[in-house]
A and B are shown apart, each in its own frame.
Chain A
Amino acid sequence: MKDEPKKPYIKPEVTQVPLRPEEAVLGNCKSSNTGGPVNSTMCSTTACMTIGS
């Protein structure tokens, strides 16, 4: 069986990818820092998602 040619060595690299924890954990409504009954009309699913990108 014919040997497969070796792949060229590629030195591993560390790449930093920025994470935004405040977005990633769904910690807050997007339209307000409050949630629940104190602003239940503001915090419906529709209103909470009004500030997207």
Chain B
Amino acid sequence: MTSSPRSLAIRIADLTIALTSEDPRLAVPPEGAMRQFVVDEAEPDLRLQARWAKLEAVSGAEPLFDSGGLWRLVAANGSLRFSFTSPPLGSLPYKIASVDRGLTAGEIWLHQPYFPSGLPVNPLEYPLDELLLIHLLAAGRGVEVHACGVMDSGGQGYLFAGQSGAGKTTMAKLWQMAEGARGAGGVMILSDDRIILRKIDGTVWMYGTPWHGEAAMARAARAPMAGIYLLRHGQSNKLVSLRPSDAAARLLACSFPPFYHSGGLDFTLGFLEQVVEAVPCHELWFTPDERVVTLVGGS
């Protein structure tokens, strides 16, 4: 008996990935923060099919990048192949995602012997979902940054960027506390760890993503950007204006472009230049108290 294909679609930063499988276990609705990014079947930007396979070590392909961790990227038969291995399992990939170079369609193959039978599996499991998004973005659409994104009660977006330990989750919590103390409400944390930037019709937008930080703050929403703040730990709260060139360099260091793809990197550099020209950029030295919210709100 053959079951009907199952499908689901996720939409992040107005980019849609659709997943179809003959096996219902491979197209179950995702859990956690990703649930709010599930949409009804729409015309996707990237269409994927998932199926079980008996995978072998990737050979005869042109290596493009090795992350040094879970995944490698190779070129094979005109396609891009993301190969995922996990050291405790051995050298065989547990999953390969093959997509055309235009990033419009592809397949995900899961190595069946590695997966417990009968249990549902998310073929787009992290980091594949995020990798596909950053590749779609680098093809002229935008960039993902390591940042906390806050939309205030007036609908304005503030980006707080920094690497791990910079204070992104702390900043998100401070905004929530400050709003709670004022009784105003209406602040929305789009994410406490990953924000996608896109420029649409001349406006720079920041989008929430499902890839949150330790406070698990993630919203499927967007806001026009009013300010960019590069986070620094300080003894007091202080704003320092940044030249666009400095701001672009600092943002690049907090972004997730495909560093191994010259075209994607070229686009990302040019895009960040447009962003820092359009949005005021500051270095924000801060202590973990709510007065920093007033400082930013008044800037």
Contact = CB atoms under 8 A, between A and B. Distances in A.
Interface string A12-28: 00010111111111111
A52 B164 contact: yes
Interface stretch (B13-21, B182-190, B250-258): B250-258
19 contacts: A22-B68, A23-B163, A28-B70, A35-B70, A35-B84, A35-B125, A36-B125, A40-B116, A44-B122, A45-B210, A46-B32, A46-B216, A48-B127, A49-B33, A50-B214, A50-B216, A51-B213, A52-B213, A53-B162
B144 to A, nearest CB: 10
A15 B86 contact: no
Nearest to A26: B127
B98 interface: no
Contacts of B43: none
Given A29-B126, A45-B34, A53-B162, A19 B216 contact: no
Interface residues of A, number: 32
A22 B207 CA distance: 24
Contacts of A43: 125-126
B33 A37 contact: no
Nearest to A27: B69
Interface of A: 15, 17-29, 33-38, 40, 43-53
B283 interface: no
B150 to A, nearest CB: 15
A52 B129 CA distance: 17
A52 B70 CA distance: 18
B87 interface: yes
Among B31, B70, B95, B211, the one with the most A-chain Cβ atoms within 10 Å of its Cβ is B70
Contact of A24 (B86, B246, B256): B256
Contacts of B256: 24, 26
Among A15, A22, A26, A36, the one with the most B-chain Cβ atoms within 10 Å of its Cβ is A36
Contacts of A38: 86, 88-89, 114
Interface string B42-77: 000000000000000000000001011111000000
Given A28-B69, A38-B86, A44-B31, A15 B213 contact: no
Contacts of A34: 86-88
